Structure 1
Amino acid sequence: MNQAAKIRQATFHLYTFTISKLISTFGSSVYTFGISLYVLSLTGSAASFAINLICSILPRSLIAPFAGYAADSYSKKKLVILSQVASVLAVAGLLTYSLAFGLSLVAIYITTALVSASSMFTGVTFTSSIANLIDPDRIQKAMGFNQSAMSIATIGGPVIGGMLFGFVSMNVFLAIQIAAYAVAVLLESTMNFKLFTNAELKDESEKQSMISSMKEGAAYLKTNRVIMVIVTTAVGLNFFFSALMIGLPFIAVQQLEIESVHFGIIEGTIAAGMLIASIYFAMRKEVEFPLLFSKRAILVMSFLLSAIALPLVLNFSYVLNVGYLIALMFVFGASNVCVNTPIGVMMQKDVDEKYRGRVFGILDSLCMAMMPVGYLLFGLLYDMVPAQFIVVGSSLCLIVMTLYMMRPSVIKEAYPELDKSVPSQPKFQ
């Protein structure tokens, strides 16, 4: 295939990938919200809701390394389609069970775990395939579109999920979910996952056992200092920003006594900020020094984390509290994309194609594992320590971690050209 034909197909991939990701992510968001409402209405128990959440998070953190191995070892296209079909079958199984016996908590928990596991295979394989689907010059655009799809799903998923839960039966709700996954499968079946693959890449994974292959991926990660720094920093980010995920509702609702409707708007502005920033990255030229760019964005997010404590120290009015948190969360959401998108593009280009699935699998596994640990720790801390001390302390820890992990020697290793005394180039710091 000549280069012009590849570019045309890559353009097709760019929009097909975005639509597919939007449908599947939106469908997952609607399912998660709707099924959570059903569990709460069925039991009235926060513990039952928490168990369903655990069934969603735990399989993802445990299965991610295996998903990475599979993405490097088998046909990416077949893996994406089969994992999406598995999601269809899981929800279809729940619908069949519901029609025959009625919904039960055990059936819901099992389905949530199965959908979570299959979506992890889809997500890791898709993420490791972006550089194979899209030409190098438009990877940032693809990452921007991907972030936009996730932001739209975050904003619209709960809205649509709530509407469907209120107006249709749970069986119709599940049928709509099945249809959404089926459409995503049809779109993904049209993609060429080898469009920009390395023709000289030798597939040695068939000669190795799964354990040996996963060890090889971990060894590759350890030998690549810059990528290892990115992975380690991402794990730290997920841990310390658990302080925000737990602290924001605690501070806003419990301590500032913000009404639930207004708090919903505050949370929604995070996704709105992400959406605006995603569109910006999809339109602008590629970031020249992504590691340095993301370092500065992390430091901005760190200061924003500590800024949540300001209404607890100063006596703001109710309106000012709501307005302040809306503005703060909007900038926080935009900053989050400023961290993820440039680093995502960098990893797509710098991680060897042979190891890409395993590296993204390890990254997802470690980040997902940090979420329940952070939720538990900070949940306990907020009951024992004043909230302002927790968010300020977490912010300071994150700043120190970022300055150390992305210290000048690491930036210099990633971008040797920054060490040259050229006025038009920024100096590394």
Structure 2
Amino acid sequence: MAKLDQAVKLRRATWHLWTFTASKLISSFGAQVYTFAISFYILQLTGSAASFAMNLICSILPRTLAAPFAGYAADRWPRKPIVIGAQVLTVAALGGLLGVSLLAGLSLPAIYATTVVLSLASTFSGVTFSSAVTSLVDEERIQKAMSLNQMSMSIAAIGAPAAGGLLYGTVPMNLFLLLYMAASLIALLLESTMNFRLFNRKAEAGGQEEEAAKEPLLRSMRSGLAYLKTQPVIMAVIWIALIVNFLFGAFQVGYSFILIEKLKIAPEHFGLTEGALAVGMLIMSIWLSVRKEVKRPLVVAKRGIIVMAFTMGGVALPLFIGLPYVAMVIFFGALMLVSGLSSGIVNTPIMVMMQKQVDDDFKGRVFAVLETMAMALMPLGTVLYGFLYDLFPAEWILLSSTIALIGAVLWLARPSVIRRAHPERTAPQTGAAAPVAQ
């Protein structure tokens, strides 16, 4: 009977694997088509970069502020109602904006308010899903689940702008809202079929879950931080995420600035080079989904970040060496392809490692801290680098940021941290004791 139960669980896990992927693909595609359309709408309506930036702030700031609460909710209450509730909130927000559009026409306050609600719903859904992966699929297929998740987002990143570009200007904005609503409803139906307690280790822990559910918000957050202090490897990963996202502001701001303003790359060719990034991530996701699990994820991620740093510095190369126009487009396309490949080899193995190492009782709070740390300095980095690019030569900003990023990752993922993360891989082959991490 036990074997039969395990076989049933594995079949359910296979269903979860593909349902999870389909749900993410549909919802991500709908969200990105909507984002593409609403961004163009705001720019055409106002002609103001400030209005466009305000919509970005309405997306980033709520995610940063709400992530700790989303993590607390994911650890305290059943995760399925949170995910379903977030999707219902998404459908309701889009329905509200559609109603406003039909009755009075779209306005900036209505768009900003909808962006805030969608951002909050996405935060609760994303953090809860991240903390529930090990409850949805068996341990052997965690890497496949994370790879398929990344694959679905990469496909959406490639296809959504093309679909949005074809539709925008030929169909009314209300149709974009209806498409996103339909995608969210399909995702809602798929997620409602999933069993978020299929491989639930919390249930096996007996009364631990009930005790955790009684913990108040502030005490729960303090206990989550206390848990992190006992996990130096996870703390190193969180600090790496913080530093990488901050310093990569040089790339995010500088790439568009250099290609469009300095090198005068045509918009359609610029779009092709950016699409190469998503293609690289897609290729890496497919490869990771079919290969065996990465054995030393922190080592692989360390090398991947160093490659990403070199691609960031490589953006400055045409400013030093004159290249023909076609060669420049090919060069930047190849550079973005490599960046996408290295980004995929960083994100997926690290997420698999965290899924396996973080205790189920703290997953929501840990992933919330990771989300907050990853997002917290992005607005600051964007503003700071935007200011620096107006004052200093772009090539020296990129090169100095590249050196800083390589130095930071070499320190944060130094050998002592690697030994803590992978002691079984660094232990001597003789009978002598393994080295103790410093």
Match of 2:163 in 1: 160
- More deviation, 41-50/112-121: 41-50
Deviation by residue 1:21-62 (Cα, 9 ceiling, x = unmatched): 111111111111111111111111111111111111111111
Q: Alignment partner for residue 219 of structure 1, among 209, 213, 226?
A: 226
Task: Supply the distance in 2 between the matched residues of 1:90 and 1:238 (Cα, whole angstroms).
Answer: 29
Q: What is the SS of the residue equivalent to 1:167? A: coil
Q: Please give the root-mean-square deviation of Cα atoms over the aligned residues, in Å.
A: 1.4
Task: Supply the distance in 1 between the matched residues of 2:200 and 2:248 (Cα, whole angstroms).
Answer: 36
Preserved CA contact (<8 Å) 2:276 2:336: yes
Q: Alignment partner for residue 402 of structure 1, among 405, 409, 412?
A: 409
Match of 1:283 in 2: 290
Task: Supply the distance in 1 between the matched residues of 2:43 and 2:336 (Cα, whole angstroms).
Answer: 27
Does residue 1:130 correspond to 2:133, yes or no? yes
Deviation at 1:320, TM superposition (A): 1.2
Match of 1:240 in 2: 247
Letter in 1 for 2:162: V
Match of 2:264 in 1: 257
Deviation at 1:299, TM superposition (A): 1.1
Task: Supply the distance in 1 between the matched residues of 2:282 and 2:93 (Cα, whole angstroms).
Answer: 30
Deviation at 1:166, TM superposition (A): 2.1
Q: Alignment partner for residue 228 of structure 1, among 198, 214, 235?
A: 235
TM-score when normalising by structure 2: 0.95
Task: Supply the distance in 2 between the matched residues of 1:421 and 1:217 (Cα, whole angstroms).
Answer: 34
Deviation at 1:421, TM superposition (A): 4.0
Deviation at 1:370, TM superposition (A): 1.4
Task: Supply the distance in 2 between the matched residues of 1:177 and 1:419 (Cα, whole angstroms).
Answer: 49
Task: Supply the distance in 2 between the matched residues of 1:195 and 1:382 (Cα, whole angstroms).
Answer: 51
In the TM superposition, what are the counterparts of 1:248-397 in structure 2 within 5 Å? 248-397=255-404
Q: What is the SS of the residue equivalent to 1:195? A: coil
Does residue 1:101 correspond to 2:104, yes or no? yes
Deviation at 1:422, TM superposition (A): 4.6
Deviation by residue 1:250-281 (Cα, 9 ceiling, x = unmatched): 11111111111100101110001000000000
Does residue 1:8 correspond to 2:15, yes or no? no
Q: What is the SS of the residue equivalent to 1:365? A: helix
Q: What is the SS of the residue equivalent to 1:166? A: coil
Task: Supply the distance in 2 between the matched residues of 1:416 and 1:170 (Cα, whole angstroms).
Answer: 55
Task: Supply the distance in 1 between the matched residues of 2:314 and 2:258 (Cα, whole angstroms).
Answer: 12
Task: Supply the distance in 2 between the matched residues of 1:196 and 1:414 (Cα, whole angstroms).
Answer: 25
Preserved CA contact (<8 Å) 2:82 2:124: yes
Q: What is the SS of the residue equivalent to 2:168? A: helix
Letter in 1 for 2:319: L
Task: Supply the distance in 2 between the matched residues of 1:67 and 1:306 (Cα, whole angstroms).
Answer: 36
Match of 1:61 in 2: 64
In the TM superposition, what are the counterparts of 1:414-425 in structure 2 within 5 Å? 414-422=421-429
Letter in 1 for 2:267: S
Deviation by residue 1:386-414 (Cα, 9 ceiling, x = unmatched): 11111111111111111111111111111
Deviation by residue 1:64-89 (Cα, 9 ceiling, x = unmatched): 11111111111110000001100000
Q: What fraction of aligned residue pairs are identical, expressed as a percent?
A: 53
Gaps of at least 5 residues in structure 1 are: none
Gaps of at least 5 residues in structure 2 are: none
Deviation at 1:17, TM superposition (A): 0.2
Deviation at 1:162, TM superposition (A): 2.3
Deviation at 1:418, TM superposition (A): 2.9
Task: Supply the distance in 2 between the matched residues of 1:73 and 1:420 (Cα, whole angstroms).
Answer: 38
TM-score when normalising by structure 1: 0.97
Preserved CA contact (<8 Å) 2:94 2:114: yes
Task: Supply the distance in 1 between the matched residues of 2:426 and 2:63 (Cα, whole angstroms).
Answer: 41
Task: Supply the distance in 2 between the matched residues of 1:165 and 1:324 (Cα, whole angstroms).
Answer: 30
Match of 2:185 in 1: 182
Does residue 1:113 correspond to 2:116, yes or no? yes
Task: Supply the distance in 1 between the matched residues of 2:32 and 2:142 (Cα, whole angstroms).
Answer: 25
After the TM superposition, list the runs of 4 or more consecutive aligned residues in structure 1 that deviate by more than 6 angstroms. Answer: none
